[in-house]
Amino acid sequence: MKKVRIDLFSDTMTRPSAGMRAAMAAAEVGDEQLREDPTVNRLVEKVSELLGKEDAVFLPSGSMCNQIAMRVHCQPGDEIICEATSHVRNFEGGGASAISGASIYSLDGENGIFTADQMEAAVRPLENHFPVSRLVTIEQTANMGGGTVWPLETIEEVCQRAAKFGLARHMDGARLMNAVVASGIPAATYCDCFDSVWVDFSKGLGAPVGAALAGSKDFINKAWRFKHQFGGAMRQSGIIAAAALYSIEHNIERLAEDHSNAVLLAEGLANIEGISVQTPETNLIFLDISELGVSSEQFNERLMTHDIRTCVTGKTQMRAVTHLDVSTPQIKEAITAFQKVAQAYRQ
Ligand SMILES: *Cc1c(COP(=O)(O)O)cnc(C)c1O
């Protein structure tokens, strides 16, 4: 496939920088399964501290963090409460049912965010006809909700109410650091009322691979068993943990640039006749081009002739994502290309 020059498809499109590659090449390594990889051990300590949890475990992907967390919290016949657009429900191959035997109760939130009252209404009575409500999970930021930031008060209300009903609490923090940078609220504060939380290194933080799941010592001991069972226990994984460490040390504060680029892009696109834009809170921008009378598939293909790509998320919807491999001049270039493509369809 031809390489796209301005790739707004996702923040997973970042490539490791020279500095990150140097850190990977220089990484001290050992056998991760024996807990003898010093770089992985350092990463795990750093993540525990960052998220304010007793312990953490390094995993190959964010999806595995979600799947292991659900597997620890749930048993067959249990039910997980989450938002309708969430990753655990839609984009993990039905893993909750396949791996944990759990059903999903989905809530229609606003921009990916639901209320404690909505959650409470979903909790099942303890009676043999019903699945057992076991776990509530939220996404910070809410990806398909628009990269929206869950307000801390809403999180605390949901957690407190969940505790009242004996539900475990899990946070999918694929883009938690974007929420932290956008709000100025520390990661540990967001994580405080959750039993399990994770961060992705391969999204906006710019590492090539990896995520880390955090929680109590007891939770992480259980998670380690499933890390082995799922085939996610690695060996000299310090090579990739070094990239994750580098991403924490160098690429968190700079997420602010992605957020300002997102505002720049959203404003530029909102000025184009026929394109409507959801105001971004972080680095994800959702567009609707229904007024242009063309599908997002076709529009995106036309954009590709300008060496630019977005992600098609619906018949006339698309998502554009800013990240560390897209510069401000390139955002301006992208706006011009969108103008040209929209103009061509308006005629
Ligand atoms: C990307 C993403 C995941 C999965 O992460 P991977 O590292 O790609 O497996 C989970 N949740 C959300 C909200 C995501 O955006």
Query: What tens digit of pLDDT does each residue of 310-321 get?
Result: 999 999 999 999
Best residue among 10, 58, 203 to mutate for probing ligand 1's pocket (most ligand atoms within 8 Å of CB) is 203
Query: What tens digit of pLDDT does each residue of 43-60 get?
Result: 999 999 999 999 999 999
List the alpha helices (DSSP H) in 123-237. 152-164, 176-183, 187-191, 217-229
Considering the chain, what percentage of its residues have pLDDT values greater than 90? 98
Ranges in the chain annotated CATH 3.40.640.10 = 18-250
CA–centroid distance, 127 to ligand 1, in Å, is: 34
Task: Characterize the bridge pairing of strands 6-7 and 308-309.
Answer: parallel
The DSSP-derived string for 265-286 is HHHHHHTSTT-EEPPPSSSEEE
Does the pLDDT at position 1 exceed 70? no
Q: Grade residue 346 by pLDDT with cuts at 50, 70 and 90.
A: confident
User: What is the spatial distance between Cα 152 and Cα 296, in angstroms, rounded to a whole number?
Assistant: 34
CA–centroid distance, 174 to ligand 1, in Å, is: 5
Q: Which residue has the higher pLDDT, 265 or 3?
A: 265
User: What is the spatial distance between Cα 87 and Cα 138, in angstroms, rounded to a whole number?
Assistant: 10
Superfamily of domain 254-346, CATH level 4: Aspartate Aminotransferase, domain 1 (3.90.1150.10)
**Angle formed at CA 175 by CA 313 and CA 320, multiple of 5 degrees:** 35
User: What is the spatial distance between Cα 319 and Cα 286, in angstroms, rounded to a whole number?
Assistant: 5
User: What is the spatial distance between Cα 143 and Cα 158, in angstroms, rounded to a whole number?
Assistant: 19
330 lines ligand 1 (CB under 6 A): no
200 lines ligand 1 (CB under 6 A): yes
Instruction: Enter the DSSP assignment of 13.
Output: G
* 296 within 8 A of 276, measured Cβ to Cβ: no
CA–centroid distance, 290 to ligand 1, in Å, is: 28
Ranges in the chain annotated CATH 3.90.1150.10 = 254-346
Ligand 1 atom closest to 143 (CA): 13
28's tokens: 């001290």
CATH 2.60.40.3140 fits 18-250, yes or no: no
Q: Grade residue 2 by pLDDT with cuts at 50, 70 and 90.
A: low
Best residue among 11, 68, 171, 172 to mutate for probing ligand 1's pocket (most ligand atoms within 8 Å of CB) is 172
Nearest to 16 by CA among 275, 180, 167, 240: 240
Ligand 1 atom closest to 210 (CA): 7
Task: Characterize the bridge pairing of strands 132-139 and 168-173.
Answer: parallel
Query: What tens digit of pLDDT does each residue of 66-115 get?
Result: 999 999 999 999 999 999 999 999 999 999 999 999 999 999 999 999 99
User: What is the spatial distance between Cα 77 and Cα 277, in angstroms, rounded to a whole number?
Assistant: 41
Record the pTM: 0.97
